[in-house]
Chains A and B, each alone.
Chain A
Amino acid sequence: MKFGVIVFPGSNCDHDAWFAVNHNLGQRAEFIWHDSATLGDIDAVILPGGFAYGDYLRCGAIAKFSPVMAAVRKFAADGGLVLGICNGFQILVEAGLLPGALMRNRNLKFICREVRLRTETLDSPFTDAAEPGQILRLPIAHGEGCYVADERTLDELEAEDRVAFRYLDNPNGSMRDIAGILNAGRNVLGLMPHPERATEPLMGSSDGLVIFQSMVMAAQPAALQL
């Protein structure tokens, strides 16, 4: 299976995602420069963490205008798997591919630490390899990760089983402890924690692998057995 990792000016977890896929997942990943009009022959897209365009404005507010985002929109509309991590989540929200917004952390500070997430749904191509309610230990590293949406949107997300992960100890003030959400088509996932940073024991946790393995199973059921 081939993952495309989008590189915006200012992306800085692009290489981490690339390494996690190539070395720890045993699949292939390649970089896609932000001004590409097309994505090439890939099976899934990762929007990595970082500070696209410096994020001096609202996070992701400029990245959504990058030429590559039109291709990402089309890819998502066609049912392709899109994973937005941290800054990637912020960009997906700004681009309108996911609802809500990400505001500054409750304590107004950048927070880097390991947190625990509860897997809220197995009904998605990002979580179907997980156990029901599986607890994942993943790092967060963000200043603007407080998930906010109006009550109706939050109710809708819950009613449609689109909350993928919740924090056990909410670190940033996110409404209803939301750490990651799915789009209506369930093929786009955005989450603030970094699964790519938890893909081998040396990093202190391999719990992030289950998200990538789920994607492989969904996109290429045969690939995992190879």
Chain B
Amino acid sequence: MSTFAITPDLVAQHQITEPEYRKIVEILGREPNYTELGVFSVMWSEHCSYKSSRLHLRKLPTRGKLVVQGPGENAGIIDVGGGYVIAFKIESHNHPSFIEPFQGAATGVGGILRDIFTMGARPIAVLDSLRFGPLDDAQAGPRNRRILAGVVAGIAHYGNCFGVPTVGGECIFEPCYNGNPLVNVFALGVAKKEDIFYASAAGVGNPVIYVGAKTGRDGIHGASMASAEFTEESKQKRPNVQVGDPFLEKLLLEACLEAMQTGAIVAIQDMGAAGLTCSTCEMGSRGGTGIEIELDRVPQRETGMTPYEIMLSESQERMLLVAERGKEDEVFRVFRKWGLDAVTIGAVTADGLLRVRQHGAVVAEIPNRELADEAPVYDRPHTAGESACPTTSRGRAGERAIPNVHDALMALLGSADICSKRYIWEQYDYMVRTNTIAGPGADAAVVRIKENGVSVAMSLDGNSRYCYLSPRAGAQLAVAECCRNLATVGAQPVAATNCLNFGNPERPEIMGQLVEAIEGMSEACRFFETPITGGNVSLYNETLGEGIWPTPVIGIVGLMQTAAPVTRDFKTPGRSIMLLGGIGECDEVHFGGTQYAKVVLNELWGLPPALDMDYEKRVHDAMREIVAADLAESAHDVSDGGLAVAAAECCQGGVGAALDFESDLSPEFLLFHEGPSRILIATASPDAVAEIAARHGVAALRAGITMNDRLVIGNRGTARISVTIGSLRATYEGSLEKQLCP
């Protein structure tokens, strides 16, 4: 074994605490060697072990009647009928994307795609949730623009070449992401129910086969990097970011799916974070077996690699699989056809140990279960998460100047959070595989499954302004909005995945945000019957002591019969416009988290909008019934920027509207408050819509009529806003590019 001296300094460099080190010694019954220390350090890193969040993640609902596979595998699996299932998950690639935006984002896409096809599912959709610092930030603006350009190009590069459509997502800007952009990638695939594959090794003596790219020195300690705050030295970690090869991944996809059909594959797992280490010990742990490998047989890109480097490398586009003994040749034949390296590097054993040899000598020997599943779990101290924001606006409501709501609407419509993201999504092939029936820009993306006549609707949501004011309420509002997006296109939400992006959990106030957000998300996911089937936690999103706002992102999938979906834009002049859910309530406290407060007042205060989950759900039920009865010619949910922005977005297709309300709310509250549970519908049958709404006990206001040329919004007959469609479109469509290329 290696004789590298294990000093307290070396242990500390591996971000292993003293108690953790004592536990390692206890598990091994001796001191670890250098390789073993490295292996423990990645498996017990925050990124791989969830040691700070695991205790609280248990609170999330994970079961449901359609759930085939919950958390713990590479992806969650839902039954979608007709003998088919979908596999989906969201994952972050935040830290690498800050250090090297293009490759960081590209390999983020690559990693989540492997998680999907490793389960036997062919990826059919990708969505991205992105957060950047403001593009016009006085200091960080140029860097933020460069990061955005790199991230978008990286996602496009990988997804387009691989051949998976990028069909939706969100992109939001706040100063807290200046030094900490977030790149969360969601992927979804489809498989036959009987063809699901798991990552659980079995069958003593079965060969362990390595497939795909050669192992190099890239990405060593990537998982540990993602488990620490950024400092000035982080920029020196660039070699830790891997380089993606989407062509190789495409070959890997086709070869794996074809090899799975031979019946010779027992288990399969991709080599993602922590590479060979993670795939061997997790497959062994899940199957209750041991795994022995010989590093001399691992295909290597560089000479002279040490066991430490080979075990910790995060080179991309690699898979590990267990085949049935005697049938290896069938597997090799398929991989040869696709021009891929596939070699037997070891075998399944009965002793429960991960045994690693090099030149025949044992260089590491660790019990799989303890390594993979017995990482320390911490109940970190957490405070209740008092908001750091004032409870009221600096310029109190009564004292604020009477707003020019026309200018406010145009400012909001052109603001980076709200404006059209066409500049981004036109760089993604959102149609390949010809399944996309609602693509980017829609309330929810909808992708059909050709095989069974069912379509999958997907939406990602997260609002860090709301979560900063109240992590619990913000997380609930994200779940509610996500479900509302699905209802708007007519889909029934069935399951969810989450990506929890937070700062340093060793700070009690950050830990408090995490706990509150998880609990809020749990309550809402239970209520809306969307069990969480997997996800990802990304902590230590801090640079130079500056943490991000709490950013839990939820991805929800829904099901519907395949049909042309209801879309956002008004289509025909002369249709009735109805506001399902009603105008809603708003007061000064609940106005402080709105886009109006951000863009027009440059403030943040109070609480996020109030949510009545029971009412919200009834709005969704009514909406789905309206869609099913084919009564909605268009529909759009009211969210960021409130009613006026929602109406302006509906006008982007070229048809305008005249709206008038009966409300005692002040003009800015009426037009821009962000109360949930509201959907704008254009219909030729307002009575039938009203009847359905009444049956579900929700309001359905007759708000006006669609017309040519203009958007007019008034209150009690007095027009507050009157603007041409051309002007709305120019502002909405042209704004992002102007900000990116000032």
Question: Is residue B448 contacting chain A, with contact meaning CB distance below 8 A?
Answer: yes
| B23-31, B49-57, B358-366, B429-437: which lies at the interface | B429-437
B163, B339, B436 — which one has the most chain A CB atoms within 10 A of its CB?
B163
Chain B residues with Cβ below 8 Å from A112 are 425-431
In the complex, B245 has a CB within 8 A of chain A: yes
User: Can you list 21 pairs linking A and B with CB atoms under 8 Å apart?
Assistant: A9-B250, A10-B161, A10-B247, A12-B250, A13-B163, A15-B433, A16-B434, A20-B434, A51-B161, A51-B246, A54-B161, A54-B245, A111-B427, A112-B426, A112-B429, A141-B160, A141-B429, A143-B160, A197-B434, A201-B564, A203-B431
Identify which of B338, B426, B433 gathers the most chain A CB atoms within 10 Å of its CB: B426
Residues from 28 to 64 in A contacting B, C-beta threshold 8 Å: 49-51, 53-56
A113 part of interface (Cβ distance < 8 Å): yes
Beta-carbon nearest neighbor of A139 in chain B: B431
A202 contacts B by Cβ under 8 Å: yes
Whether A54 lies near B247 (C-beta < 8 A) is yes
Where the two chains meet, the residues of A that have a C-beta atom closer than 8 Å to any C-beta of B are 9-10, 12-13, 15-16, 19-20, 49-51, 53-56, 109-113, 139, 141, 143, 194, 196-197, 199, 201-203
Do A12 and B162 form a contact, CB below 8 Å, given A110-B156, A111-B427?
yes
Check B172 for interface membership: any CB of A closer than 8 A: no
In the complex, what distance in Å separates the CA atom of A203 from the CA atom of B436? 7
A141–B425 Cα distance when bound, in Å, is 12
Min CB gap B719→A, angstroms: 35
Asked if B434 and A196 sit within 8 Å, CB to CB, the answer is: yes
Nearest residue (CB) in A for B434 is A16
**Contacts A54-B246, A112-B430, A141-B431 given: A203-B437 contact, CB under 8 Å?**
yes
Give the residues in chain A near B448, CB-CB below 8 Å: 202
A113 B247 Cβ-Cβ under 8 A? no
User: Can you name 4 extra interface pairs (CB under 8 A) apart from A12-B162, A53-B247, A141-B431?
Assistant: A12-B163, A109-B427, A112-B426, A199-B434
| B: interface residue count bin | 20 to 34
Residues from chain A with Cβ under 8 Å of B250 in the complex:
9-10, 12, 51
A11 to B119, CA, bound (A): 22
Interface residues of B in 318-363 (CB under 8 A from A): 338-339
Q: Given contacts A9-B338, A112-B427, A112-B431, are A56 and B247 in contact (CB under 8 A)?
A: yes
Main secondary structure of the interface of A (DSSP, over half): mixed
B244 to chain A, nearest CB (A): 11
Would A202 and B437 count as touching, CB distance under 8 A?
Answer: yes
Neighbouring A residues of B247 by C-beta, 8 Å: 9-10, 51, 53-56
* Cβ of B505 to closest chain A Cβ, rounded Å: 38
Q: Which of B153, B251, B432, B564 contacts A16 (CB 8 A)?
A: B432
Residues of B within 8 A of A143 (CB): 160
Q: Across the A-B interface, how many residue pairs have beta carbons closer than 8 Å?
A: 78
Whether B536 sits at the interface, judged by CB under 8 Å, is no
> What is the distance, in angstroms, from B436's C-beta to the closest C-beta of chain A?
8
**Interface residues as binary, B579-603 with A (CB distance below 8 Å gives 1, 0 otherwise):** 0000000000000000000000000
Most chain A beta carbons < 10 A, residue from B250, B434, B564: B434
Interface: B450 (CB within 8 A): yes
Q: Which residue of B lies closest to A50 (CB)?
A: B163
Chain B residues with CB under 8 Å of chain A are 153, 156, 160-163, 245-248, 250-251, 338-339, 425-434, 436-437, 448, 450, 562, 564
Q: Are B564 and A12 in contact (CB under 8 A)?
A: no
Cβ-closest chain B residue relative to A112: B429
* Residue of chain A at shortest CB distance from B563: A202
Task: Note all chain A residues with C-beta closer than 8 A to B245.
Answer: 54
Q: How far is the CA of A51 from the CA of B250 in the complex (A)?
A: 10
How far apart are the CA atoms of A13 and B250 in the complex, in Å?
A: 12
Whether A110 lies near B434 (C-beta < 8 A) is no
By a CB distance below 8 angstroms, the chain B residues around A12 are: 161-163, 250, 432
Known: A12-B162, A13-B432, A196-B434. A110 touches B427 (CB 8 A): yes
Q: How far is the CA of A146 from the CA of B742 in the complex (A)?
A: 26
Contact partner, A19, options B428, B430, B450, Cβ 8 Å: B450
B564, A113: Cβ atoms closer than 8 Å: no
Residue of A nearest to B337 (CB): A33
Give every chain B residue within 8 A of A111 (Cβ-Cβ).
Answer: 426-427
- Nearest Cβ distance between residue A98 and chain B, in whole angstroms? 23
* Residues of chain B contacted by A203 (CB below 8 angstroms): 431, 434, 436-437
Chain B residue numbers with a CB within 8 Å of A201 are: 564
Could you tell me if A110 and B429 are in contact, using CB atoms closer than 8 angstroms? yes
Closest B residue, CB atoms, query A13: B432
- Complex Cα–Cα for A110 and B431 (A): 13
Residue with the highest number of chain A CB atoms closer than 10 Å, among B160, B432, B436: B432
**Residues in B neighbouring A20, C-beta threshold 8 A:** 434
Q: Which residues of B contact A141 (CB under 8 A)?
A: 160, 429, 431-432
Contacts of A202 in B (CB 8 A): 437, 448, 562, 564
* Assembled-state Cα–Cα distance A20/B435 (Å): 12
Residues of B close to A139: CB separation below 8 A: 431
Question: Could you tell me the distance in whole angstroms from the C-beta of A17 to the nearest C-beta in chain B?
Answer: 9
Complex: how many Å from CA A15 to CA B451? 13
Query: Considering the chains assembled together, what is the distance between the CA atoms of A20 and B450 in angstroms?
Result: 12
Complex contacts, A9 vs chain B, CB 8 Å? 247, 250-251, 338-339
* A43 to B156 CA separation, bound complex (whole angstroms): 35
B153 nearest in chain A by CB position: A109
Q: Which chain B residues lie closer than 8 Å to A54 at the CB level?
A: 161, 245-248
Closest residue to B254 on the A side, CB-wise?
Answer: A9
Nearest residue (CB) in A for B429 is A141
- Report the Cα distance A109→B156, complex, angstroms: 10
Distance from A185 Cβ to chain B, minimum over Cβ atoms (Å): 30
Q: Which residues on B sit within 8 Å (CB–CB) of A109?
A: 153, 426-427
Q: For the complex, what is the distance from the CA of A50 to the CA of B425, rounded to whole Å? A: 18
Instruction: Name the residue of chain A whose CB is nearest to the CB of B339.
Output: A9
Would you give the shortest CB distance from B422 to chain A, in whole angstroms? 8
Give which listed residue, A53, A56, A110, A197, contacts B160 with CB less than 8 A: A110
A48 to chain B, nearest CB (A): 10
Q: How far is the CA of A72 from the CA of B433 in the complex (A)?
A: 25
CB distance from B96 to the nearest CB of A (A): 21
**The 8 residue pairs across chains A and B that have the minimum distance between CB atoms:** A12-B163, A54-B247, A141-B429, A51-B161, A16-B434, A110-B427, A112-B429, A110-B156
